[in-house]
Structure 1
Amino acid sequence: MTRKRVATTHRAWLFILLTQATLVALAFARLHLVRQSVQGADECFSCQASTLIQHESGLWVLVWLLLTLASTQIRAIRILFISVLWSLILVLLADIFTLQQFGLRLYLADVLKFGQQPQFFVDYMHELLGWLWIPLLFTVIIALPWFTSVLTRRLLVSWQARTGLLLMAGLSLLLYSLPDRTSHPLPWTYLNLLEANWPGGVNREFSPQYLEELISHPPPSLTKKICTTGQDIGGDVIIVAVESLSAYHSELLLPGPMNVVPLLDAAARQNSWWDRFYANGFTTDHGLIALLTGQLPVPAVNRYSSIQVFEGYEGNATSLPKRLGEDGYFSAFLTSGDLDFLGKGDWLKTLGFDHIEGSEQSDYTGAERFGFGAVSDDLLFQRTINWLKNERPGSRPVVAFVETVTTHPPFIDPVSGQASEAAAFRFTDRALADFVADLEDLDYFRNGLLMITSDQRSLTPISPEETAAFGAAAGARLPLVVMGGQHSLTGAQSTPAQMTDLPYSLDHYLTAQACHRPGQGNLFTGQAPDCIYQADGNQRNVIYAFCGMNTAKIKMDGDKTRVIEGVLPDAQRRIRELNYLRAQLGVKEANLRILL
């Protein structure tokens, strides 16, 4: 009997040690993925590893306590706590998967946001792994928890085993309680998942006194309207937003091993291209808000805990369709994606688009579908040509916004059906070149303008080459190519520009009069914006500011919003402007908290 008890105790400790080894392995897997992005890599590997392990040990405390609570002969209680334990492990695995796929931590707000469309997850996993993801998910959700429950009942119900579990919990708590390197500039790289999702300054409301003073005395730079004579060139405009197109995809912007859009690069060399064009956010909705409304996609209070991603950015007089609509332009939005996703279709209607179409378009009947129910980009471009030839109003100039989908992660190549970032972008590069050729056949460029850019920098790890070339702006730099029209710009344009410049720039270029805010940039006159802002993806309470030669990191924290790194010229005024923009959006309903 004693020998059997000793053997059981040995097996219990073997289980405990294997569990601890698994937890350490998960932590090092995350460390490896974090360090793939050069912005997440610390020069001191041991320092970064020890800091990450220390923070991860806070979750280990939960693991050991859950196992302790599950170490009972009462089946219902054991199943309950084993289920909670594996839910935690599943979330940790999802965090690692999200880092590997998108270069971002797993934020529960994003789970809520994309959870509105479960078909997106199903389609994504099917494109990435085929049907293999179903048995894998079954293994994690059913098989492994059942196996853990059996082992717990057999090995962990003795007082010796429970003592070992509590000892591990105590050691983990001690490790977590040690002082850490709190001065590390990128907390997202080492915070555990619970810490990363803990409500931060971005959700801190402004005090009633500050809010009242802010709203009653708005910054003049945001409320003053300057109206000037435009160039009045007229003609059609097509804006193509290529999903995830980034500077590192272009040999022209970043010479290196990628070079997957050679045809676009060749077209850029023959026309006009910007080498300092910036995204204002890190998601597609951010990009659409900036490009179509001219507004900074700064997060409202609770924005990242809400499913209402477009709320507060509904159309006003500054949206691109309404600006140009006043001068007789017919506006169209064409995409091959699902317009119901995140309520995009309804939001586009508020902007004043005269025509909106998505994946439901009859021209796509019978075509193979990919992520978001989208057809491949070549069919989207063919559809756009068909619309221009046969359906556009002949008596009115047109502004058309075309949003592609093929190059969205997991980068499925429509030809091979395989996940390959390079192949997906080469496919779209060829489709885009064919689109340009079709426009030439229509004699479109005689007076028509084509602008090709992106919706966001790709959600992939930032490379050392990007950081060396672009510094803190590596996560914001995008291609912008302008073809046709009657502007005087040729070759490389080195004037800094950002997405929010687009509506005013086109209004000024196309029409007789255009209005703008002080400090706003104009793509076609070479006027740079005073400051360029970008909301950060991994540090959700941070906004980067690029003002001339200065770069600053701004922490959103209610009344205490402040610069935490770098230099921000006229900082007090600019922070007040950002606070005013956020205050104007109101406080969003925290759907995530309600769900939890």
Structure 2
Amino acid sequence: MTSIPFITLSKKLLFNARLPLLFFCIGLIAYKFYLLEINSRAILGCDWCLVRKAIFFELQFLFLLGILHFVAGFSRWYWLRFSLRLSVIAILLIMAIDLIVLQQFLVRFTWHEFLKFVSEFSAIMDFSRQLIVSFWSALIAAMVISIILWVLGRYLILDNATTRSPVFLAFVAFGLFGTEYLKPTEFHGPYLQNSIEAFFSSQTRHRPYSDDFANKILAEPEEESRCYEGVGARPDLILLIVESLSMYHSKLFSGLRDWTPQFDSVSQNGRWFSNFYANAINTEQGLVALLTGEPAIARGTGNASTPLFEQFQSSKHTVPHLLNDLDYYTAFLTTGNLGFLGKGDWLKKIGFNLIEGHDAAYYDGMKRFHFDAAPDQALYDRALIELQTHHRKKPVFLTLETVSTHHPFIDPESAAQSEELVFRYADRALGVFVENLKSIGFFDNGYLMIVSDHRAMVPASQDEMVRFGDRAYARIPFSIIGYGLNNEEVVDPFSQIDLLPSLHHWLSQDRHCVNANQGIFLPKTKHQPACIFTRRSYALDDVFIHCGDEDYIIRLDGDRSHYVGAKPPHDLLGSIHRLRLGKDSSH
């Protein structure tokens, strides 16, 4: 007799198209709660503190689905029933994608991100394949996807009218609007939002300035600047951008994990910066900051859908343009796909003489990983060839961008998905590269600069938060090694955007000027920035500004951009307006 309820439930699952859909929805919500819980324990050190607050957001999500489902049943028109059920399916798929993006990158899936990446289907599929590391994981993934498609397909073709009364529909509608007043408003709101709220959330950072406001800002006098005479050095230079290299990976830089002993040893043989910041939260922004000298804050003019690279491609004030004018040979080498987000075209427009990506002949026949990239060791070997074959009439500036340590952290040697293993691999490859540079005499008149594009896209641990506070999300390592440098720790704060003015000061003999928020740290510390502009993946509309020990937040909102919380004693909001309008006082 006890088996009868089980048999009844089994029949409902097999023959009822609605019940499996309900279980699928509840499963997605449960997984959302799981993600919130593991992150709240790791970051906030508390149990259930985010899940309790997220309940009302997800209840509203359920009520929304209920409204669409029951209205579809009430309708006499087939096309309307079909459209509403299709909307239910679309909402559930948005939630599924949102949870994958949240779990992998700690950001939400939004309409703007959909428009940004919809044309990068091959890169998305390539990334998805990296998550399937074995035959069994592929089999399980195929089974799960097949079951989901079966559930969604059966629901879509269901054409039975509901017998629910209008009173029940009114109750669901009341729940939909009533939960709006029960949802808490707090700092972690972007993560608590249900997937539909997040997808259609207002992206205030994309609101443009009005013409009158922009003209007013552009008419204001230039910021005060300080000017210096250039040093006029002409060393060979390598800028090594290590994907996702973070403070917590290094014992030297954080005292936490010891995954990069080679990098730590190399850094101690040069100058290492223990208070360095990324102005970026992804590779795209990191390259803009490092190579244009501007924090990658979206311009306040034009179309919100304009890709970031296109917004920073017209300036002649870039690292490669500067070095070309100083008669350097400039090259950018990566094993990644330069077609992703238009990176290759952008690199050409900002001035590099040579640009190579995954399709370079040197990588033919090599095993590929995410972004069609060969392992880091292949990039380093290709760089050595370029250095040795380069004609010596000009000094060289070589930019190397690694890929192996990109999320989802697939170790090229073992094929295991492990952040520790892949960073240990990258560290060993870096150590071999440095030894090879020594063997060809590069450091006789050359310097290697090692920096990250951004902090890894994973939650900050409680240990990180204790050590660095919320700035943990922006802190990254930076070091430079070469002739005359030996174990000098630089504790002064600098950031990625300071590389351009620093190179200008070091390599040019001209008089040059910087504003208060630009720094010069090459060949020695010359000018500290008053404030550093950083970003956070959990608050994409905000700019986080660090001025000494003080922190400030500016919410980007076109003409109505404003401070969130404390206001600084000086006009940082005006600085943000000038940056977003391309009014740079450095020259």
What is the TM-score normalised by the length of structure 2? Answer: 0.88
The residue type paired with residue 195 of structure 2 is: L
Q: Write the distance in 2 (CA, Å) between the matches of 1:62 and 1:68.
A: 10
The alpha-carbon deviation at position 320 of structure 1 amounts to 0.8
Alpha-carbon distance change, 38 to 385 in structure 1, aligned in 2, over 3 angstroms: farther
1:422 corresponds to: 420
Contact 1:68 / 1:165 at 8 angstroms: preserved in 2?
no
Note if 1:159 corresponds to 2:163: yes
SS in structure 2 of the partner of residue 310 of structure 1: helix
Contact 1:550 / 1:567 at 8 angstroms: preserved in 2?
no
Among residues 48, 51, 56, which one is paired with 2:50 in the alignment?
Answer: 48
Q: Write the distance in 2 (CA, Å) between the matches of 1:194 and 1:218.
A: 44
2:394 corresponds to: 396
Among residues 403, 406, 424, which one is paired with 1:405 in the alignment?
Answer: 403
The alpha-carbon deviation at position 353 of structure 1 amounts to 0.9
The alpha-carbon deviation at position 293 of structure 1 amounts to 0.8
Among residues 64, 67, 70, which one is paired with 1:68 in the alignment?
Answer: 70
Alpha-carbon distance change, 19 to 165 in structure 1, aligned in 2, over 3 angstroms: farther
SS in structure 1 of the partner of residue 274 of structure 2: strand
Q: Write the distance in 1 (CA, Å) between the matches of 2:580 and 2:446.
A: 37
1:187 corresponds to: 189
2:91 corresponds to: 88
Per mean C-alpha deviation after superposition, the further-off stretch among 530-539 and 33-42 is 33-42
Alpha-carbon distance change, 46 to 339 in structure 1, aligned in 2, over 3 angstroms: closer
Per mean C-alpha deviation after superposition, the further-off stretch among 394-403 and 296-305 is 296-305
1:555 corresponds to: 555
1:457 corresponds to: 455
The alpha-carbon deviation at position 423 of structure 1 amounts to 1.2
Cα distance per residue 1:490-544 (max 9 Å; x no partner): 3321010100000111222233235232222112332321110012222121000
1:498 corresponds to: 495
Per mean C-alpha deviation after superposition, the further-off stretch among 514-523 and 238-247 is 514-523
The alpha-carbon deviation at position 38 of structure 1 amounts to 5.2
Q: Write the distance in 2 (CA, Å) between the matches of 1:302 and 1:81.
A: 37
The alpha-carbon deviation at position 409 of structure 1 amounts to 0.9
Alpha-carbon distance change, 90 to 330 in structure 1, aligned in 2, over 3 angstroms: same
Cα distance per residue 1:19-56 (max 9 Å; x no partner): 66754553343233234445996677566334322123
Note if 1:334 corresponds to 2:333: yes
Alpha-carbon distance change, 135 to 459 in structure 1, aligned in 2, over 3 angstroms: same
Cα distance per residue 1:35-94 (max 9 Å; x no partner): 444599667756633432212333223211221134379766554433321221111111
Cα distance per residue 1:185-227 (max 9 Å; x no partner): 2321212223334223212232333222112225424xx5x54
Alpha-carbon distance change, 111 to 140 in structure 1, aligned in 2, over 3 angstroms: farther
Matched ranges for 1:121-270 at <5 A: 121-129=124-132, 131-132=138-139, 135=142, 138-139=145-146, 142-149=149-156, 153=159, 157-160=161-164, 166=169, 169-170=172-173, 172-182=175-185, 184-196=186-198, 197-221=200-224, 226-256=226-256, 258-270=257-269
2:285 corresponds to: 286
Alpha-carbon distance change, 560 to 54 in structure 1, aligned in 2, over 3 angstroms: same
Note if 1:116 corresponds to 2:119: yes
The alpha-carbon deviation at position 566 of structure 1 amounts to 3.9
- Cα RMSD between the aligned structures? 2.9
SS in structure 2 of the partner of residue 314 of structure 1: coil
Contact 2:37 / 2:50 at 8 angstroms: preserved in 1?
no
Q: Write the distance in 2 (CA, Å) between the matches of 1:559 and 1:375.
A: 45
The alpha-carbon deviation at position 583 of structure 1 amounts to 2.7
1:381 corresponds to: 380
1:532 corresponds to: 532
Q: Write the distance in 2 (CA, Å) between the matches of 1:137 and 1:112.
A: 27
Alpha-carbon distance change, 47 to 386 in structure 1, aligned in 2, over 3 angstroms: closer
Contact 2:298 / 2:311 at 8 angstroms: preserved in 1?
no
1:352 corresponds to: 351
Alpha-carbon distance change, 371 to 165 in structure 1, aligned in 2, over 3 angstroms: farther
Contact 1:555 / 1:564 at 8 angstroms: preserved in 2?
yes
Cα distance per residue 1:453-473 (max 9 Å; x no partner): 111111111211111111121
The residue type paired with residue 142 of structure 2 is: P
Q: Write the distance in 1 (CA, Å) between the matches of 2:272 and 2:147.
A: 48
Among residues 466, 479, 482, which one is paired with 1:481 in the alignment?
Answer: 479
Alpha-carbon distance change, 373 to 320 in structure 1, aligned in 2, over 3 angstroms: same
The residue type paired with residue 261 of structure 2 is: P
Contact 2:37 / 2:48 at 8 angstroms: preserved in 1?
no
The alpha-carbon deviation at position 124 of structure 1 amounts to 1.0
Cα distance per residue 1:227-254 (max 9 Å; x no partner): 4222223210001001111111111122
SS in structure 1 of the partner of residue 563 of structure 2: strand
The residue type paired with residue 139 of structure 1 is: S
Q: Write the distance in 1 (CA, Å) between the matches of 2:562 and 2:421.
A: 43
SS in structure 1 of the partner of residue 557 of structure 2: coil
Q: Write the distance in 1 (CA, Å) between the matches of 2:141 and 2:80.
A: 28
Contact 1:90 / 1:140 at 8 angstroms: preserved in 2?
no
Q: Write the distance in 2 (CA, Å) between the matches of 1:254 and 1:168.
A: 54
Alpha-carbon distance change, 54 to 304 in structure 1, aligned in 2, over 3 angstroms: farther
Per mean C-alpha deviation after superposition, the further-off stretch among 57-66 and 328-337 is 57-66
SS in structure 1 of the partner of residue 449 of structure 2: strand
Contact 2:554 / 2:564 at 8 angstroms: preserved in 1?
yes
2:515 corresponds to: 518
Per mean C-alpha deviation after superposition, the further-off stretch among 329-338 and 551-560 is 551-560
Q: Write the distance in 1 (CA, Å) between the matches of 2:423 and 2:43.
A: 27
The residue type paired with residue 562 of structure 1 is: H
2:4 corresponds to: none
1:34 corresponds to: 36
Q: Write the distance in 2 (CA, Å) between the matches of 1:350 and 1:455.
A: 20
Q: Write the distance in 1 (CA, Å) between the matches of 2:212 and 2:306.
A: 28
Q: Write the distance in 2 (CA, Å) between the matches of 1:129 and 1:214.
A: 51
SS in structure 2 of the partner of residue 552 of structure 1: strand
Alpha-carbon distance change, 303 to 341 in structure 1, aligned in 2, over 3 angstroms: farther
Cα distance per residue 1:535-583 (max 9 Å; x no partner): 222212100000111001111122222211345341xx21011012213
Contact 1:454 / 1:479 at 8 angstroms: preserved in 2?
yes
The alpha-carbon deviation at position 102 of structure 1 amounts to 1.2
2:61 corresponds to: 59
SS in structure 2 of the partner of residue 86 of structure 1: helix
The alpha-carbon deviation at position 360 of structure 1 amounts to 1.1
Q: Write the distance in 2 (CA, Å) between the matches of 1:40 and 1:202.
A: 29
Q: Write the distance in 2 (CA, Å) between the matches of 1:41 and 1:170.
A: 36
The alpha-carbon deviation at position 121 of structure 1 amounts to 1.2
The residue type paired with residue 285 of structure 2 is: H
Q: Unaligned stretches of 5+ in structure 2?
A: 1-7
2:360 corresponds to: 361
Alpha-carbon distance change, 351 to 507 in structure 1, aligned in 2, over 3 angstroms: same
Note if 1:564 corresponds to 2:564: yes
Q: Write the distance in 2 (CA, Å) between the matches of 1:167 and 1:417.
A: 54
What is the TM-score normalised by the length of structure 1? Answer: 0.87
Contact 2:280 / 2:286 at 8 angstroms: preserved in 1?
yes
Per mean C-alpha deviation after superposition, the further-off stretch among 131-140 and 239-248 is 131-140
SS in structure 2 of the partner of residue 188 of structure 1: helix
Q: Write the distance in 1 (CA, Å) between the matches of 2:140 and 2:407.
A: 16
Contact 2:85 / 2:155 at 8 angstroms: preserved in 1?
yes
The alpha-carbon deviation at position 100 of structure 1 amounts to 1.2
Alpha-carbon distance change, 485 to 382 in structure 1, aligned in 2, over 3 angstroms: same
The residue type paired with residue 353 of structure 1 is: F
Q: Unaligned stretches of 5+ in structure 1?
A: 1-6, 586-596
